[in-house]
Structure 1
């Protein structure tokens, strides 16, 4: 019989405030996550110079950019493979080992991209090497995000899991902001010719160096108390943890995929995709669009922490309902203002970015959805597969909606996914799992 959620509410840690050791763990995990996510997304901020340098000079510009974005997308397609493999060993051999390995696997190819020869030097080998490095980055991020959520959740005291997961999620979003600001600084201070000659290498070299610093910092982290307890009791998963997930926890997988869909829509549409959308569909100047994006990304980090605090006080289900409804309202108000000329675009985008912080509720729901022996594998499979599927289909779905609703299509898409999130929250309340408690069983 398919089990929806673990039924034994044995918590990972006793009730207590977060002490210095908890805060150190959270800071080191969040810093590493921010640097690793920066390494993963900085590629897209330099897609234009990469398209010039890594493909034949006679390639049409549109085709070169398309090929560069295809290489970027390859990182997303590699996420499920990396996540599943790393989660298997995380459930069998320890969370800390995979948590450290993931940041190392991200730092190495990021540094290598900054040192790669371009097409003019080695011909077709250049884009092939770039593709290989991007695939390794995808493998790393596939293990990092689920592993980070499991790691901080299993370290957190009871009643602080929502805040811990949200702070980690906030750290990941800070990585997006760092990438955006780095790209803006380089493009502002260097001439276009210098960016093409050598400037494009700087963000990758810096990302690689900082990544290795993060590897060194993570050596100070300790194994999670939950995994240590499982190891001591000889209660680790036997065989393939993923097989156990698929055989007995189908409802948990479905719920985790559903809330991941909401997460991908909010991040991809309202944070990563909106600057280009408002320029193309509403005539917002590029400078204003990207300024708004930076402000929204900053507010997103704050929103994540706020919603994590809310989870620990009213429960994950009610926090998800409140955040989803508020996000839908703010999104329609912002798009309505854009349709009227965008006079209040910046403050409304800041508010919307803050409410996108609702996505910080998602990891709390997922870590509670699976029992500890298979938690890493369950989250990794559901999150990475859903992210690959929904991330790849977002543009197509919005394009379909645009045929009937025009410039409001993106707002309608976010509303659909928010409704899915509310449905999950209601299901949790009906099943008495509204607080989404972490278990060790």
Structure 2
């Protein structure tokens, strides 16, 4: 990996804990905005597509619009990273959450198919693309921002804590969706209550913009400015020309991360309803528990990778992910009563993705770090995170265990990456 400059060895101080807390909280609010869509996918299918469309086709199109947010991530991420490397991390950190707040609020105010016909799904698609552009700058920017605020030996903890904040946004989304289905009847949710989570998300986003006023620019970027060591040419050009190896490694790990999050956390509540026969409320309650254990797992992952390194971490972490996810998807057919403990266990195993940003931020030099992480992460997420919501519903027509087999496959890739890190003593 590239020799890069982070903070000197010392204990974390009050300012670092403040930065991590505010960054994680803002990330939670923004990620809630991005994922609340998927928790209402079943409802949105009936609202934004013709009523006579086959259910399987409408479901695929709904998840296709969800996937469009992933396809928009590279463009938004690369543009924001470009300015983040040249103008500063903090400015882009604030802009990304503002863009997310406005687009999420727009979804909450959209007229449905019954009101404006095919213009409804088209407008939904446009706003989803804007959400994707926003999150494309947010996630890599947040990892870089937190990593550059702490000593080198605490990078795993910093990025794991930030990832915990992002996954907490998923938990907030799951809890809001659960509360929605508890307070309102299915008819009320369909008629009007589905709008509330999106409107709430817009408010959350604006709160996040306010919170980021209290963050300082990273010491690493300030040092780059002081030494006049910022990128002399386009940061992305330098990344592509000089860091192909880092790009490939980061894209493989992002595939692992995206597959685990999209399949197990974001799509599985729908699978629980349509494949395993659970009702919406039960599915969302179980998902909330799994997301809670995921958030805890991210911090554990960050602390662990700081101590044992990337090699041993990914070897053991991917074995845990593969075994628990396969048990989850297979046992539920015969033991539905084990839904809560199984989902909680696999959620904790998904927390191993908290070690991914540790590798990403250490793979590029400071002058092009934001662009390197953003390009690798967002392109990979656009491909693999974007295709997964479309691929899995189709694959499950022939193989009900397609989610389990897919996670098993990407876990093997992560395991091989771990062996590579062991060989390189990373």
Is the TM-score greater than 0.5? Answer: yes
Structure 1 position 429 matched with structure 2 position 389: no
* SS of residue paired to 1:315: helix
Aligned counterparts of 1:52 and 1:409: Cα–Cα separation in 2:
25
Query: Normalised by the size of structure 2, how large is the TM-score?
Result: 0.92
The structural deviation recorded for 1:346 is 1.9
Residue range with higher mean Cα deviation, 368-377 or 189-198? 189-198
Residue equivalent to 1:31: 25
Q: Provide the secondary structure at the position in 2 that maps to 1:160.
A: helix
Supply the distance in 1 between the matched residues of 2:192 and 2:211 (Cα, whole angstroms).
Answer: 29
Partner of 1:416: 409
1:205 Cα offset (Å): 1.3
Aligned residues: 426
The verdict on how the C-alpha distance between 1:373 and 1:323 changes in structure 2, with shifts beyond 3 A counting, is same
Alpha-carbon separation, structure 2, partners of 1:104 and 1:171: 18
- Provide the residue aligned with 1:337 in structure 2: 331
Match of 1:381 in 2: 375
| CA displacement 1:35-80 (0-9 Å, x = unmatched) | 1111011122223443444455666665555443332222111111
Q: Give 1:338 shift.
A: 2.6
Corresponding residue number in structure 2 for 1:437:
none
Check the 8 A contact 2:143/2:357 in 1, yes or no.
Answer: yes
SS of alignment partner, residue 370 of structure 1: coil
Mean alpha-carbon deviation: is it higher for 234-243 or for 107-116? 107-116
Q: Give the aligned partner of residue 322 of structure 1.
A: 316
User: Residues of 2 paired with 1:76 and 1:133: CA distance?
Assistant: 12
Instruction: Indicate how the Cα distance of structure 1 residues 413 and 217 shifts in structure 2: closer, same or farther if over 3 A, else same.
Output: same
Report what 1:108 is aligned to: 102
Q: Which position in structure 2 is the counterpart of 1:163? A: 157
Which of 233, 241, 245 is the matching residue for 1:247? 241
* More off after superposition, 166-175 vs 276-285: 276-285
Give yes or no for contact 2:315–2:414 (8 Å, CA) kept in 1.
yes
- 1:236 and 1:255 map into 2 onto residues whose CA distance is 24
The structure-2 alpha-carbon separation of the partners of 1:331 and 1:126, relative to structure 1 and needing over 3 Å to count, comes to closer
Task: Describe how 1:75-90 pairs up with structure 2 within 5 A.
Answer: 75-90=69-84
> Aligned equivalents of 2:111 and 2:268: distance in 1?
33
Counterparts in 2 of 1:410 and 1:195: CA distance versus 1, 3 Å: closer
Rounded to whole Å, the distance in 1 between the matches of 2:392 and 2:124 is 30
Partner of 2:183: 189
Give 1:284 deviation, angstroms: 4.9
Task: Identify the range of structure 1 (112-121 vs 346-355) with the bigger mean alpha-carbon deviation.
Answer: 112-121
1:4-403 aligned within 5 A: 5-6=1-2, 8=3, 10=5, 12-55=6-49, 64-284=58-278, 286-394=280-388
CA offsets 1:170-201 (integer angstroms, 9 cap, x no match): 11111111111111212221233433443222
* Contact 1:83/1:142 (<8 A) preserved: yes
Contact 2:9 2:152 in 1 (8 A): yes
Unaligned runs of 5+ in 2: none
Alpha-carbon deviations, 1:273-325, whole Å to 9, x = none? 23333455445555443332221111000111111111111122222222112
Distance 1:240 1:177, change over 3 A: same
- CA distance in structure 2 between the aligned counterparts of 1:430 and 1:401, rounded to whole angstroms: 36
Q: Structure 1's 227 and 342: CA in aligned 2 closer, same or farther, altered over 3 A?
A: same
Distance 1:191 1:401 in 2: 32
What is the RMSD of the two structures over their aligned residues, measured on CA atoms? 2.4
Q: Distance in 2 between matches of 1:137 and 1:82?
A: 9
Does the aligned pair in 2 maintain the 1:103–1:215 contact within 8 Å? yes
Report the more deviating stretch, 69-78 or 158-167: 69-78
Distance 1:313 1:123 in 2: 56
Q: Provide, for residues 3-50 of structure 1, a one-character-per-residue CA deviation record: whole Å limited to 9, x for no partner.
A: xx21x354x212222211111111111111111111011122223443
TM-score by length of 1: 0.89
Does the 8 A contact of 2:31 with 2:135 survive in 1? yes
| Closer, same or farther: CA 320–349 of 1 in aligned 2, 3 Å | same
